[in-house]
Structure 1
Amino acid sequence: MATPSEPRGEAIRRAGVWLARGLLAAAACSSVAWGATTLPDFVDQTRLDGARDVILRNVPISDAELDALGPALARAAARSDCMPAIDRSTAVIRLRLAENALASGDRVDARMGELDAAIHKSLGCAPADPYLWLVLFWLRNIRQGLTDANFDLLRMSYRLGPNEGWIVVKRSAMALAMFDALPPDLSGAVVAEFARLVKTELYTEAIDLLKGPGWAHREKLLAGLATVPKRNVDILTRTMADIGYDLDRRSPAERRSLEREPNFGRDELARMPSGAVARP
């Protein structure tokens, strides 16, 4: 406080200094509190995102290796607010845990329920995720069987992510495995998606699909290439011939090795959401 003899300007200056110090102290305390609150979330996100990337690259990862993420997954499930990155990573990790359960036959119902909850939480916060709509389609088919209502989930994936290459490979593999059961609009979308792969010169992906789940439907897939540049189609045809698949014949093409004939049953379909090669 100023003395009677202290100039008014000096008093104002000293008051300003004390005010600035108070504001800096308050800011420092706020920063410490903010860091203490957000640091655990940052650590969880870093760990969950790392596991998510490994899974989407189709690297085998067991339940034992994912056990350390249990507390982080539990915290993510318990949160009522939206953390889009954490929620999405949680859903992808829950998918791998569900796939592992299907493969082992252990805790299948529990893992499926956890996956369902994780997908709904993530899509509730960030609904424009074509991959998770695809996973939800797969999950509904596993738990409830293939129904007309489920096809709307696949349609959402096509609508929201028509050109994301890594999703296209997974989605096409799944859709081709059930091609005969698809309604006309979705079977048409599958054929158009394959044509886009060839048009954009993603030959490796197109070949893997064609000689795998698409082999039984090759005539329709090849007919869908009518609008694709001839150069691209020729590259696809020659490359397929080089590895033993003759697509030039008018009669159904036969493989050189019968042992390579595709067999896509329930187990293969069950692995497809995270089981195809991806580039997230």
Structure 2
Amino acid sequence: MWNSKLSYWLAVLRGLLFAGGLSSVIWSITALPAFWKMMPASDIAARIVADDRFKLGALANVLAGIESEQAGALSPPGLLRAVALAKLRVAEEAMLRRSSEQADRSISAAVEEVKSALAVSPNDSFLWLMLYSVETTRGGFDLQNLRYLDQSYAAGPREGWISLRRNRLSLGIFSTLGDATQSAVISEFEQMVDADFVEHAALNLMGAGWPYRERLLAALVSADIVSRQGLYKRLAAEGIKLPIAGIPVDERPWR
């Protein structure tokens, strides 16, 4: 009696395991290819956002693979984003090693990809920043393009690695920005210091941000005190001693 019951439950358990295994196989067949397609694209996009460098021509080969997966189907937003960013980087390569006509065609194609991606993901602050950057590179500074930079800040005012590139660009044209965007740029600088991106903040301050140093430093009152001290020391190492909230100015010339 006991053996028959045990045999029964073992059979049931084997059936459940088989069903579970079968469902896993089915899931892997249907779902995993989508993940396989997306993961390389998302990795590429992340590396481009972090401003990683690729071997010359390598990104064009990867892009061809991504586009072959994309052909004939509606693309997920992440894939559209990856294609747009990859084409932008390929266009940068073209500007360095091809004729101006070929580079112009590459840039035009990249701009169209960026706009297509933004039509699907209008809150992508990095794509808005790249659209501003590439249009400025292609046609020179134009007040009309500032709307792309404004939209980048509106879509993502706190964006980590994006801020490191965006803040420098924005300080370079700070006087032409509207009041709301200027406030966002100042706040972004404070967030960079608070997050301990002291080296980037110091370079921005000593470079394009120098005419606006009083506003930038005044905003640091709420930044982490240790990061403020780090910024003070970094500037002092360059012979620059500026008042930073909560940090006493060392007037000794040998320090």
TM-score (norm 2): 0.71
Q: Are the equivalent residues in 1 in contact too, given 2:49–2:162 (CA < 8 A)?
A: no
Counterpart Cα distance in 2 of 1:56 and 1:237: 29
What's the counterpart of residue 12 of structure 1? none
Structure 1 runs (4+) greater than 4 angstroms displaced? 76-80, 226-232
CA distance in structure 2 between the partners assigned to 1:113 and 1:133 by the alignment = 16
Q: What is the CA-CA distance between 1:158 and the residue it aligns to? A: 0.7
* Bigger Cα Rg: 1
Aligned to 2:213: 218
- Match of residue 189 from structure 2: 194
219, 237, 241: which one aligns with 1:247: 241
Contact 2:50 2:161 (C-alpha < 8 Å) held by counterparts: no
The one-letter amino acid paired with 2:113 is A
Q: Distance in 2 between matches of 1:191 and 1:105?
A: 38
Aligned to 1:55: 48
Task: Within 5 Å, give how 1:27-66 maps onto structure 2.
Answer: 31=26, 35=29, 39=33, 41-66=34-59
Contact 1:161–1:167 at 8 Å: present in 2 too? no
- 1:54/1:231 CA distance change after superposition, 3 Å: closer
Task: Quote the offset at 1:236 in angstroms.
Answer: 1.8
Q: In structure 1, what is the equivalent of residue 83 of structure 2?
A: 90
The answer to whether the Cα contact below 8 Å between 2:125 and 2:156 also exists between their aligned partners in 1 is: yes
Q: Residue 227 of structure 1: CA displacement? A: 5.5
1:132 partnered with 2:127 = yes
Is 1:68 the equivalent of 2:64? no
Percent identical among aligned pairs is 25
Of the two structures, which has the highest relative contact order with CA contacts closer than 8 Å and spacing of 6 or more?
1
CA distance in 2 between counterparts of 1:105 and 1:235 reads 43
Deviations 1:46-95 (A, max 9, x none): 33233333333333214421232243343366456241121111122112
Number of residue pairs matched by the alignment: 220
CA distance, structure 1, for counterparts of residue 55 and residue 225 of structure 2: 45
Q: Which runs of 5+ in 2 are unaligned?
A: 1-18, 244-255
1:118 & 1:60 partners in 2: Cα distance?
21
Structure 1 spans left out of the alignment, 5+ residues: 1-23, 250-280
**What's the CA shift for 1:129?**
0.8
2:135·2:145 contact (CA, 8 Å) conserved in 1?
A: yes
Task: Find 1:165's aligned residue among 144, 149, 160.
Answer: 160
Measured on the aligned residues, the alpha-carbon RMSD in Å equals 3.2
Structure 1 residues 50 and 234, CA, compared in 2 at 3 Å: closer, same or farther?
A: closer
Q: Separation in 1 of the partners of 2:31 and 2:223?
A: 54
